Structure 1
Amino acid sequence: MVNRFGIILLCLLLLAACGEPKASGKLHKVGLLVPETINDQVWGTKGFNGMLKIQSKFHVEVFYKEGMTSQAVVEQAVKEFDQKGVNLIFGHGSEYAEFFNNISKQYPNIHFVSFNGDAKNKNTTSLTFKSHAMGFFGGMVASHMSHNNKVGVLAAYEWQPEIEGFYQGALAENKDTKVSIEYVGNWDDKQKAIQLADQMLKNGVDVVYPAGDGFNVPVIEQVKEHGLYVIGYVSEQSDLGESTVLTSTIQQVDKLYVKVAEQYNNGNLHSGNLSYDFQDNVISLGKFSPLVSKEFIGQLNRQIDHYKKTGELPK
């Protein structure tokens, strides 16, 4: 079976060796569904790394399927997972919440986990990163390091909480900072993202926050060519240029998946919609560029610690 782009869907990978000890609790085998590929080096790769860590910690078999973009292919994948004894399935995206709501009652022995959706059944859970504070601290760094007092956010969609967070953080650091915000309208439209970023740079923006995991890497490469700066998104992106990437706002999906698997294994994974923030140690800022002063980094880390303890952002 192939999808409309001709990608082979029956792409199972067994990661655990036969004969290894199994998890001592409720967890048997784990499945992952991704809409595109596990080789994108950003979102899909982070989900796959989560599976590797689950396999390593719990010594269970884990599987994945790529190109899962419709109800029909998801239903077929879940059927195959069920036949293999999988009882915890991660749908690596917001689209899977509705897919899982539609079929989860047919599989009462499987728990279905999705992202950024609305889980409605007792064996479904949706995970959400509370990314407002993540964007806030990224905005502080951008504003602090901007020579022109002009920073820009290149977002996928208006609903992303990190966008408002970035705006507020930039102004909290320097009230004279001007924040430009543009929306690509898609996670993966690299061409449009590059065009919008180019216009920002022409308008004097010297720090860009490309808040879309499908287009952030080419945008970073574009900004690097101009000798300007970025705030990385979702992954640690300092390896793309420590003189370009001032820091990264990291969502540690792999660590969160291990946390969820552990909760399920212990019988205490809740259904419904769950959210996670800095306090849960699954959101963080990444490595700082050597261009960022140690004094500012120390100040920022103290503010992050204060936020973890109190939930209060700098004013």
Structure 2
Amino acid sequence: MKKKITLLSVLTLAMTLVACGGGKNEAKPAEGAKDAAATSEIKVGFVTDEGGVNDQSFNQGVWEGLDKAKTDFGLEADYLESKDSKDYTPNLETFADQEKNLIVGAGFKMGDAIADAANQYPEINYAIVDVDVTNGGQAEAPSNLLGIMFRAQEPSFLVGYIAGMTSETNKVGFVGGQEGNIIWGFEYGYRAGVDYAAKEKGTEIEILSQYVGNFTDAQKGKSITTTMYQNGADVVFHAAGGAGDGVIEAAKEAGKYAIGVDRDQNALAPENVLTSAMKNADVAVYEVVQEMKDGKFEGGKTIEFGLADGGAVGIAPTSDKNVKPEILKSVEEISKKIIDGEIKVPYNEETYNEYK
């Protein structure tokens, strides 16, 4: 039976976690999905991508949100790590067999597998982080599947500006995990931010860019970054998941700056992580679980968050440790321009060329 319910924005509790705020939307629950409020025990499962739950990046952020929900709500939550993309379907099926109320996935590579699972098990609710389940509104998503997206290009623009203004060699780098729409958002947002800094400085800033080819090979990430430093770069931004650990390690060894991603990665190298481009997946997932607990779930659509959503994305709170105050002041002004639409941040090569 279908009925209309209310879904809180995924930012409702962000004042507690990362100083965010949210609103309410009328939504339709997953057809046939279990009403979590009617169960005595909520069971949530999280399937990681290849980065693993301790990747110091996106997967870890998702799990921290679930772990907090586990503590706060007294529910059951666990995870299965995917060592390879071939593990996605078996891991999703394992949780379905365990009759989870909500199964969460992370990463664009898992999109097809989780959509298939949602169709196969309409009585279970699913959420996937970093996947547009409607393909830009061109496809009809399963009514028990919720997509959660972040406009990663916006914080990437900000850290690109910071990199460009901080660089003394006027040469910076970008290390990506695997090419695709999600990581292109990081790269081209970053490029645009560097360009903005170059214009302000009145000089050219060269951008070196290379992809690891996956999100797990930290040694390759380190090798790529070391070469960039040897070639004159003094700030390197990574959007490479676990492979980004190698980027930060290279920065430590070279005495240069790295820029983290997804989470505040300053703790990995306090003297060398300049800032981080953050997507607060923990906040989003926590709130979705709370909605499940209250018997409310919105599926069949994708929700997207950016700077205008009260801090759903942004730069790390530790940025003031290594970024000059005058640069941070300018970042605040640039953020307002992005929110107001004065700066339209590119998210792929085509929109970047238009921006240029």
Q: What band does the TM-score fall into relative to the shorter chain?
A: 0.7 to 0.9
The corresponding residue for 2:205 is 177
The corresponding residue for 1:295 is 326
The corresponding residue for 1:16 is none
- Cα distance, 1:105 vs. partner? 3.0
The corresponding residue for 1:285 is 315
2:127 to 113, 119, 122: 113
- Per the normalisation by structure 2, the TM-score is 0.74
In the alignment, the residues of structure 1 paired with residue 121 and residue 236 of structure 2 have an alpha-carbon distance, to the nearest angstrom, of 45
2:118 alignment partner AA: S
Q: Does 1:274 align with 2:274?
A: no
Inter-CA distance 103–233: structure 2 relative to 1 (3 Å threshold): closer
Q: Point out the structure with the larger helix share.
A: 2
RMSD: 2.6
- For the residue of structure 2 that corresponds to 1:288, the secondary structure is helix
In the alignment, the residues of structure 1 paired with residue 59 and residue 228 of structure 2 have an alpha-carbon distance, to the nearest angstrom, of 28
Q: Contact 1:133–1:313 (CA<8 Å) still a contact in 2?
A: no
- Per the normalisation by structure 1, the TM-score is 0.82
Higher relative contact order at CA 8 Å, sep ≥6: structure 1 or structure 2? 2
In the alignment, the residues of structure 1 paired with residue 328 and residue 88 of structure 2 have an alpha-carbon distance, to the nearest angstrom, of 46
1:33 alignment partner AA: V
The corresponding residue for 2:69 is 54
- For the residue of structure 1 that corresponds to 2:276, the secondary structure is strand
Q: Contact 1:243–1:289 (CA<8 Å) still a contact in 2?
A: no
The corresponding residue for 2:97 is 80
Inter-CA distance 211–149: structure 2 relative to 1 (3 Å threshold): same
- Cα distance, 1:225 vs. partner? 1.6
- Cα distance, 1:72 vs. partner? 4.6
- For the residue of structure 2 that corresponds to 1:63, the secondary structure is strand
Inter-CA distance 292–73: structure 2 relative to 1 (3 Å threshold): same
Q: How many aligned positions are there? A: 290
1:295 alignment partner AA: E
- After superposing on structure 2, the runs of 4+ consecutive aligned residues of structure 1 that deviate more than 6 Å are none
Please list every run of 5 or more consecutive structure 2 residues that lacks an aligned counterpart in the other structure: 1-35, 134-140, 345-354
In the alignment, the residues of structure 1 paired with residue 210 and residue 93 of structure 2 have an alpha-carbon distance, to the nearest angstrom, of 38
| Alignment of structure 1 residues 1-315 onto 2, 5 Å | 28-36=42-50, 37-67=52-82, 69=85, 70=87, 72-82=89-99, 86-119=100-133, 120-159=141-180, 160=183, 161-175=185-199, 176-264=204-292, 265=294, 267-280=296-309, 281-286=311-316, 287-308=318-339, 310-313=340-343
Inter-CA distance 251–25: structure 2 relative to 1 (3 Å threshold): farther
- Cα distance, 1:297 vs. partner? 1.1
Q: Contact 2:266–2:275 (CA<8 Å) still a contact in 1?
A: yes
2:94 alignment partner AA: A
- For the residue of structure 2 that corresponds to 1:157, the secondary structure is coil
Inter-CA distance 115–144: structure 2 relative to 1 (3 Å threshold): same
- What are the superposed Cα offsets for residues 141-188 of structure 1, whole Å, 9 maximum, x if unpaired? 000000011111111233320100100100101132111111112111
Q: Contact 1:139–1:170 (CA<8 Å) still a contact in 2?
A: yes
- Cα distance, 1:253 vs. partner? 1.2
In the alignment, the residues of structure 1 paired with residue 334 and residue 219 of structure 2 have an alpha-carbon distance, to the nearest angstrom, of 37
Is 32-41 or 123-132 further displaced after alignment? 32-41
- What are the superposed Cα offsets for residues 62-118 of structure 1, whole Å, 9 maximum, x if unpaired? 232223743551353133331xxx211101222332122223233222111113335
1:74 alignment partner AA: N
Please list every run of 5 or more consecutive structure 1 residues that lacks an aligned counterpart in the other structure: 1-22
Q: Contact 1:97–1:126 (CA<8 Å) still a contact in 2?
A: no
Work out the percentage of aligned pairs sharing the same amino acid: 26
